Amino acid sequence: LVIGALAALAMGLTGAPLAGADPGYTAADMDFIAGVTALGYYDEDQDRLIKTGHVVCELLDQGANNATVQAEVLIHHQNGREQPGDGGYWPDLFTQVAAISYCPWQPAADWNI
């Protein structure tokens, strides 16, 4: 349900800055921050989260495998929530939110996690 809601939000993005938001942030940036924050990724430096989201899409566009993309997320951010079954973090969900927000043409945007 959450993933579906994020996908619906992503479809309506215009890329224009939001009123009252930092003028450097687009609607996609704000939706991305909201999405990863809901997953438990907290970072006082929102620019750092956004940068990692863009790096995720760059890696996906270059054909990087899932393990490489997950490693990039885990190098920069850990959320402390355990992934069911393996006690890891949720880099797959971070990757999906990044894809929905920044590279919806990537298959990761449609994952059913």
What is the structure's pLDDT at 81?
A: 54
What is the structure's pLDDT at 9?
A: 40
CB 73 within 8 A of CB 82: no
Closest CA to 83 of 99, 68, 95: 95
The residues, any chain, with a CB within 8 Å of residue 83's CB and separated by 6 or more, are: 89, 90, 92
Structure token pair of residue 70: 């997950």
Mind listing the pLDDT tens digit for each residue in 20-77? Answer: 445 589 999 999 999 988 887 876 788 989 999 999 999 999 999 888 998 888 888 7
pLDDT classification of 2: cutoffs 50, 70, 90: very low
What is the structure's pLDDT at 78?
A: 67
Residue with tokens 């990039």: 72
Give the global pTM: 0.70
Structure token pair of residue 81: 């929530």
What is the structure's pLDDT at 105?
A: 94
